[in-house]
Amino acid sequence: MLDIKIVKTTKPKEKPKKDHPLGFGKIFTDHMFIMNYTEGKGWHDPRVVPFDNLSLSPAAMVFHYGQEMFEGLKAYKTEDGKTLLFRPEMNAKRANNTNKRLCIPEIKEEDFVQAIKTVVKVDEDWIPTAPGTSLYIRPFIIATDEFLGVNPSKTYLFIIILSPSGAYYESGLAPVGIWIEDEYVRAVRGGIGEAKTGGNYAASLAAQVKAHDEGFSQVLWLDGVERKYIEEVGAMNIFFKIDGVVVTPQLNGSILPGVTRDSVIALCKSWGLTVEERKISIDEIYDAYKTGKLEEVWGTGTAAVISPVGKFRWKDEVMTIQDGKIGELSQKIYDTITGIQLGKVTDTMNWTIEVK
C-alpha cells in the first residue's frame, strides 16, 4: 500500500457551471497525482499536489523516443452522491502489459488503483453530473532521463490528471461517419498496437486528417499485412451485428484490448446473443451490407462509451447503416453500461467500485 502525501491547492480554480458544455479533455481539476521512479529505488514519493506544469529537461527521453504509456477511465457521481469507478483493475492490468512492452517499470495493480482512488477523492467535487458527462481520468508514465541514447530510461514519472468531460465526439450519441483506411496502417503484429502508448496515436494522425478532410470523424484500420481484416477505429474498438450475430475482431496483438470492448462482449452474452471474436474481412462487411445483413455497427471505448456508426466510406463506396440512425442493440448497450456506471442499473457483473 502506498503512503500518499496530500498537498491541497491554496488557489482552487472555478469549476465549470452545471450547464457549461465541457467538451472532452479540455478542463482540468485542482490536483494531480505524481510518483517518481528511480532505478535501484523503485517507485517512490507518491503524492497528490496542485495541478501544475511540469519542469523537465528538454533532453528528457520521452520527448525524443516516445517511451511513455497512458490509460483512460472515468469516475461517475450517482444520484445518492456516491463516487464510482468502472473496472479500474482492468486498466491497472493493461497498464502493466503496456509497461512490459515499452520497458517501463511495472506498478503494482493495487497501488495503481489506490493512486486513482486517492486523487479522485480529493477532487470528487469536480465530477460533473449533467447527462452524458463524467470525470475522465488519465494516468500516464513518461521516461525522464536526460539522455539522447536509445535505451530504457532509468527514471520515470507516473502522473494522474483528471478532466471533467462530456461526449468524446461533438455529435454525442449521434452516429458517426467512418473512413476505411487503405493507404496507411496503424500497427502490425509484434509492434506496439496492443499497447496503450502515444506512438500508436501519433501514427494515426495523417489518416485522421485525411478522413476529416473528407468529412468523416474517424478512421477504421485494416490489418497491416494483408490490408484486408478489420482491426479497430481511431479511439475505439469496433462491433458489427450481422444477421443477428454480434461480431468483433479477435485480439491478435495489434488491437487494443478495450475495457468497454470486454464489457460489451460480456453483456451481449449475458443477454443470450451469440458473440463471435474472430477475423472479419472488409469484403465480408461489404457483402453483409449489400445483402442487407449488416444490421448495426458501433464503436466502444472509455472516452466514447458506445458510438454508433452511421456510415462507412470504403474506396468509392459509401455504406449507410441503419439509415444513419442508432440501432436498437447499440442503444440498449449504451443505456446499460452508462446505467451501471451511474449506479442506475443493478451492477450484476460487479464492475463498479466505490471511492470512499
Q: Which residues bind ligand COI (CB under 6 A)?
A: 72, 201, 235, 301-303
Nearer to ligand COI, 185 or 305 (CB): 305
Nearer to ligand COI, 159 or 303 (CB): 303
Residue 241 gets which letter from DSSP? E
User: Least distance to ligand COI from the beta carbon of 101, Å?
Assistant: 16
How is residue 180 written as a grid cell? 476505411
DSSP 8-state class, residue 60: B
Shortest distance (Å) from residue 306 CB to ligand COI: 12
88-101 and 259-270 are packed helices; what angle lies between their axes, rounded to 10 degrees?
A: 130
Q: Which is nearer to ligand COI, 71 or 145 (CB)?
A: 71
DSSP string of 126-160, one letter each residue: G---STT-EEEEEEEEEE--B--SSS--SEEEEEE
Please give the single-letter amino acid code of residue 321.
I
State the nearest-atom distance from the C-beta of 11 to ligand COI, in Å. Answer: 29
| Shorter beta-carbon distance to ligand COI: residue 157 or 303 | 303
Rank residues 196 and 313 by Cβ distance to ligand COI and give the closer one. Answer: 196
Cα–Cα nearest to 191, from 98, 72, 105: 98
User: By C-beta, is 148 or 202 nearer to ligand COI?
Assistant: 202
Smallest gap from Cβ 70 to ligand COI, in A, equals: 7
User: Which residue lies nearer to ligand COI by CB, 51 or 201?
Assistant: 201
Q: Which of 51, 102, 288, 349 is nearest to 297 (CA)?
A: 288
Q: At its nearest, how many Å lie between ligand COI and the CB of residue 58?
A: 26
Chain position whose Cβ is nearest to ligand COI: 72
* Shortest separation between residue 106's beta carbon and ligand COI, angstroms: 20
- Provide, rounded to whole angstroms, the least separation between the CB of residue 235 and ligand COI: 4
Nearer to ligand COI, 139 or 224 (CB): 139
Residue at 349: amino acid letter = M
Question: Distance between CA 121 and CA 290 in Å, rounded?
Answer: 51
Strands (E), the chain: 5-6, 31-38, 42-50, 68-70, 73-77, 83-86, 134-143, 155-165, 176-181, 218-222, 230-233, 237-242, 245-249, 275-278, 294-301, 305-314, 317-320, 352-355
DSSP-derived 3-state class of residue 50: strand
Shortest distance, CB of residue 234 to ligand COI, whole angstroms? 7
Residue type present at position 223: D
